[in-house]
Structure 1
Amino acid sequence: MRKPIWQFIFDQWSTVPPVEKANLRGKTVVVIGANVGIGLEATKHFARMNPSRLILGCRSETKGREAIEEVKRETKYGESELWPIDLADFSSVKAFADRFNKKKQGKGLDILVMNAGILQLNYEEAKDGWESTIQVNHLSTALLSLLLMPNMISAGTLSSPSRVVIVSSDVHYWATIEDEVRNSPKVLAKLSDKTYCTTNAMRRRYHQTKLFNLFFVRAMAAHLRLKTPMAAVAVNPGYCYSQLRRFHYSRPMLNMFVRMMELLLAWTSEQGARQLVYAAVGARKKGGSGCEEELKGGYVHLAEVVEPSDFVISKEGGMLQEKIWNETIEILSGVTPKIGDIVAEYFQ
């Protein structure tokens, strides 16, 4: 599928479907990047569904505590938990997963929403040596998703699989990967190389990582063993008012353009959050359009599974997806040997 700009504008002006509702009593929900924007609004929606546990993963403890209070004030749900996590630091991601394993207090994890992300205009190195957008948006997102997989599989059933929801974006339709990068033995390493990360290269970086989010979800679905009670889903929250673009505000001309785009096209954070909620609790029927099976490895847009970009579903896209999957597993296996064990047990 191709998505011209006019289609993007039409979608932004379309009526946003109402929020999906479900009974989450007895369920455990984790939202990473829950203290602001669509992550916070999605957390509020989950809170209204009364889960047994609702864990907010936040980098800033101060903002996290403020989010807890806002959730309680607006939903009357008082059981939210704040757990610190910094996706720019692999050790923080591992500590979060270890804490969950020790304190899961029940059968496991039913819903994981990976919403945290950054949009950098300039090269910045994360603690572990990777370009920060690559690490936060892709590598750490994949790391936590994989480390929590055993808990999700133990919570799911074939009739009601657990779900990992990874926030992608329609910008994947316009993502470009140069032949120089595609043909490199290590795609992620090439993209993360400081000498490669020119100003022009960094303009494409966010789009590329959103493509990688979709690749990761599709690769998980393709490699998971049959009858594994877990579904991986990518979701487009739409173009929303967001602090994600805060780095643009320091550049006058870019700031003016972004403000105009937001005024003309942007959804509210709550409207964007509805897409995350649909990916997490919607499409539970069996068979036909909008069924559970259709959701696995799918791309959710406006509360339905839609076709991703032509490149994603092409032979070349499939080859790049597999190449990045293998490189990702290799990198993360170096972060912790648990990744190798999980891949060996649950993937084929």
Structure 2
Amino acid sequence: MGNRSIPSLFKEQLGKVPPLEKYDLTGKVVLVVGANTGLGWEAARHFATMNPARLLLACRSKERGTAAIERIKEVTGFERAELLLVDLSSFDSVKAFADRFEQEVERLDILVNNAAVSLPRYEDTEDGWEQNLQVNYISPTLLLLRLLPKLVKTAEAFKTTPRVTIVASGMHQFGEIPKGVFGQSSVLSALSGKEKYTPLDANARYCLTKLLNVLSTLSFNDHVSPSIAVNSVDPGFCYSELRRDLPFGIRMVTQFFEKIVARTAEEGSRQLVWAALAKSSEEELMKGAYVTSMEVREPSDFVVGKKGKDFREELFTDTLNILSAVDPKVKPIRDQYLH
């Protein structure tokens, strides 16, 4: 695939989205992060029609999460959807979530790491990181690391291949790593600087975090147990609450393009479900895969090139070092479950 032109992106957006494929999830546990609305909720709804033993919706808001579960119950009749609370802007919240999951959930077969923000101004989190960077990349990586033992034990106990789907974006091809970041002692710290934001910076930052998602997918695939399949997915340009915080002018432009080419959240969610479940007979194909339009394709030229490969190792090492300091449980997981 490599980098796609704007016309080719528009053409693909206007194409018909293939229908949802159904699978039997009897006995399996599915976790969808960011599941109270949009892509995450639609994906959770689809999973609910496939009879999982447990369907776990990870949401920041108890009120909105509870409402999401009630909607799933009303629409599908599924009674085994459960709410777990997590706020990706807080490392403490992610750690508490992982601790509870470790104690209360017996297995994990499907993890969809979906939550994201696109803030138009600089904001830092309680942990001192730029908000987009922590919510879209650092905290989801911490969550995945903390859940690795459960994924590996599920693979061993049930002779299956758990799958992790990281929701990225075709916009990753427009993400750029600033030249001054390469070779820094901490690339994440360099990316989290308090530079003055303009409205256009918000889109650039979103593209950057989606690029990090694609890179980290490949890094996990390089280092994780072969019993786990980690992939990333581009749901396409969809109607989304993600752009609700953009400045008025930029929001009007995106709403114009939504009317012309956007997929519905339900159509986009089919991509998430396909990435999480399809090709079960070809798991090697799905390891490290980049999925778009229900196909495995090549991500951007930067990602597959030497510079991207070198940077992803730099990024992964830095991320592991930072998260080992954030959470004392990360280092033992790193030592035991990554190679």
Q: TM-score range by the shorter chain?
A: over 0.9
Report the equivalent of 2:238: 240
Structure 1 letter corresponding to 2:224: L
Runs of at least 5 residues in structure 2 that lack an aligned partner in the other structure: none
Contact 2:57–2:81 under 8 Å retained in 1: yes
Aligned equivalent of 2:286? 295
1:193-249 Cα shifts (integer Å, max 9, x gaps)? 11x353264441100000000111100111124xx311111001110000000012x
Q: Which residue of 2 aligns with 1:110?
A: 109
**Residue number in structure 2 paired with 1:288:** none
Structure 1 equivalent of residue 313 of structure 2: 322
Other-structure match for 1:120: 119
Identity of aligned residues (%): 42
Who is 2:325 aligned against? 334
1:3 aligns with 2:4: yes
The equivalent of 1:267 in structure 2 is 263
Query: In structure 2, how many angstroms separate the alpha carbons of the residues matched to 1:88 and 1:164?
Result: 21
Structure 1 distance, partners of 2:8, 2:44, is 29
Q: Which of 290, 295, 313 matches 1:304?
A: 295
Residue 159 of structure 1 and its aligned partner are, at CA, apart by: 6.5
Q: Deviations over 1:80-138 (max 9, x none)?
A: 1111110000011011111011111x3x1001111000001110011111001110000
Distance 2:218 2:196 in 1: 27
Q: Where does the alignment leave 5 or more consecutive residues of structure 1 unmatched? A: 286-290
| Alpha-carbon separation, structure 1, partners of 2:55 and 2:197 | 40
State the match for 2:154 in structure 1.
Answer: 155
Distance in 1 separating the partners of 2:14 and 2:153: 41
User: Do the aligned partners of 1:160 and 1:284 also contact (CA within 8 Å) in 2?
Assistant: no
Conserved 8 A contact 2:133-2:192: yes
Shift of 1:139: 0.5
CA displacement at 1:180 relative to structure 2 = 1.2
| Maintained 8 Å contact 1:191/1:197 | no
1:39 aligns with 2:40: yes
Shift of residue 78, structure 1, vs aligned partner = 1.2
Per mean C-alpha deviation after superposition, the further-off stretch among 86-95 and 175-184 is 175-184
Assess, with a 3 A threshold, how the Cα gap between structure 1 residues 197 and 282 changes in structure 2: closer, same or farther. Answer: farther
What is the aligned-residue RMSD (CA, Å)?
Answer: 1.3
TM-score of the pair, normalised by structure 1: 0.94
CA distances 1:164-215 after superposition (whole Å, capped 9, x unpaired): 1110000011111121122433211011111x35326444110000000011
8 Å contact kept, 1:235–1:301? yes
* d(CA) in 2 for partners of 1:202, 1:21: 37
TM-score (norm 2): 0.96
Is contact 1:231–1:296 with CA below 8 Å preserved after alignment? yes
The 5 A counterparts of 1:248-267 are 248=246, 250-251=247-248, 253-267=249-263
User: Which is further off, 203-212 or 29-38?
Assistant: 203-212
Partner of 2:280, secondary structure, is: coil
Aligned to 1:206: 206
